[in-house]
Amino acid sequence: GAGETTGKPSVRNVGTSSSSPTCHGPQNTVCNARNFVGVWNAVSQDGRYKNHEWTVKVDADSVFFPARLRSVLTGWPTGELAAVMSMGCWLDKIWFLGPLEIVSRELLQAYMSKPDVCAERVGFDLGEDKWMEECFGKLGVNFNKIDGTWMVSDNSHFPGIPPDPCAYEACDGEHKKIVYHHYKTPGDWEACYHKANHAFA
């Protein structure tokens, strides 16, 4: 969904292809870029992103606190080409990585005005976040990378390997994250939400 810094946010669910991605990219990440191009096309056709200063994409298995994010966005400059670095552990490899993606209206408009550039120049054997990062590079526009590396706690990890302590903080009242990722079952999601919610009391 997309939301203003003040007033009621605008939220819309858009569909993607029902077919599951069949490839896996680096670090065994799912190659879902093609599906998300369809999502961004739907956002473009809908057009409401133009009415808001920021567009926010959050992974479905994330515990997300939008009110906390809005309070942060209120203090950020607007009217610029900008995107947010929301993960701090792998910035030497990929800066747009993670379950939370925040893009200014101006930068998103740069993509919306030339969608074929990225479709033709960026391969689809990537995760959607890496694909969009590559896309911004191919567009040839200069934009501000805002430091939001404190926003996300990500417990993604491979079997037998614990979450990276650089990226992970527990769902509890000690940490005030905007997104906690990833919680695949309703029970795990609700447990994280109720614990982390104390941090915003």
Distance of CA 113 to the CA centre of its chain: 21
The token duo for 129 is: 């976040």
pTM of the model: 0.79
Whether 125 has a pLDDT exceeding 60, the answer reads yes
The verdict on whether omega for the bond into residue 182 sits within 30 degrees of 0, i.e. cis, is yes
- Tens-digit pLDDT profile for residues 17-44: 444 444 554 445 567 888 888 889 999 9
* Average confidence score pLDDT of the chain: 79
The string of DSSP codes covering 47-80 is -GGGGSSEEEEE-TTSEE-HHHHHHHHTTS--SS
In terms of pLDDT, which residue wins out, 54 or 35? 54
The token duo for 161 is: 């390997």
